[in-house]
Amino acid sequence: MIVCCGKKQKVSTYIIEPLNNEIAATIEILNPCSLCDQLVIVIRSLMPDGSSKVVKRKGNDAMRIYNNITESGRIICQLKNNMSYDKGGWFLYYYDKGKKLKCYSNLATLRLGLTEPFQGLPQADNKKVIHGSFV
């Protein structure tokens, strides 16, 4: 997801061949932005010391970098985005009183139906039974 013009937008993500002292690198491409109609790219690189480097470009700079990467054949593969985004996050389907609903909160706060918490089995009295009578 790239934030452009104040809105999160879906992107195409590719793994690219790292340069110089980078361990791994990816490029996210938003073509075009739904509001400003410009190409937006974000290059994320992982360095050997554990830090990361993020480069974001928009417009003509993004087009120049994108052409440079595609012409040099640095793109290795495309990543598939399998997450379902709805209202900005994940959701879980559940059934409550015969209706299919979506849960957007964490599972600890999810209450299903009107069931009471388990109270356990009723406790027996400490009285002994001798020959059918209580002592």
Task: Give the model confidence (pLDDT) of 16-45 as tens digits.
Answer: 998 888 888 989 998 788 888 899 999 999
Number of domains in the chain: 1
Place of tokens 């937006």: 40
8 Å CB contact between 43 and 27: yes
Residue 61 within any structural domain of the chain:
yes
Mean pLDDT of 104-117: 58
8 Å CB contact between 25 and 18: yes
Place of tokens 């480069």: 55
The pTM for the full model equals 0.57
Listed residue (92, 89, 96) closest to 111, CA to CA: 96
Question: So what's the pLDDT on residue 115?
Answer: 56
Question: So what's the pLDDT on residue 84?
Answer: 47
Residue 33 within any structural domain of the chain:
yes
Phi, then psi, of 88 in degrees rounded to 5:
80, 10
Residue 34 within any structural domain of the chain:
yes
Tokens for 85, please give them: 């985004």
Question: So what's the pLDDT on residue 61?
Answer: 93
Residue 129 within any structural domain of the chain:
no
Residue 132 within any structural domain of the chain:
no
- The residue range of the domain holding 33 is 2-79
The count of C-alpha atoms lying within 13 angstroms of the C-alpha of 50, restricted to the half-sphere facing its C-beta, is 0
Residue 115 within any structural domain of the chain:
no
Residue 17 within any structural domain of the chain:
yes
Mean pLDDT of 70-88: 71
Residue 103 within any structural domain of the chain:
no
